[in-house]
Amino acid sequence: MAVIDIKCGCGHGFKMDFNKEDEILFCEACGSLVINDLASEIEEKIDRVNEIKAEIAKLEAEKKKLDLDIRIGLEGAPIGIGKKYQVKYSSYVTKRFDNKKFKEEHEELYNKYTYESPGDRITIKEV
């Protein structure tokens, strides 16, 4: 028997004693079921998701470095023209809406114009 730390579908965290033979665990707080033994094909898919995330992070870092190299290569000029490409570099300022501050200062309006929409999420944690 082992003790595991589980967060079920409702977000309720609990520790539980279970045997490896137990296939389904039950959260008494919300009634959520937790599968104890994932199929190997699911774990393989999770492994692949993790590989893809690592590849994406690596590619994003490479792109960021290349973008910086291109900016440096422009030597301060806003436009560069080559045989294959024209590059424009410009700075800009964006405006963002501060939801948190708006909610604090105008809670009634915030509640009037916000709505809930259903969604799904997969959270993967290595055990």
Residue 62 belongs to some domain of the structure? no
Per-residue pLDDT tens for 27-40?
667 777 666 667 78
Residue 6 belongs to some domain of the structure? yes
- What pLDDT does residue 23 have? 59
Per-residue pLDDT tens for 58-84?
999 999 999 999 999 999 999 999 999
Residue 97 belongs to some domain of the structure? no
Residue 28 belongs to some domain of the structure? yes
Residue 29 belongs to some domain of the structure? yes
pLDDT band at 1 (very low <50, low <70, confident <90, very high): very low
Residue 33 belongs to some domain of the structure? yes
Residue 26 belongs to some domain of the structure? yes
**Count of structural domains within the chain:** 1
> What domain range includes position 11?
1-37
53/29 Cα distance (integer angstroms): 33
Q: Which two tokens mark 36?
A: 């104890």
Residue 101 belongs to some domain of the structure? no
- What pLDDT does residue 122 have? 82
66/43 Cα distance (integer angstroms): 35
81/67 Cα distance (integer angstroms): 16
pTM over 0.75: no
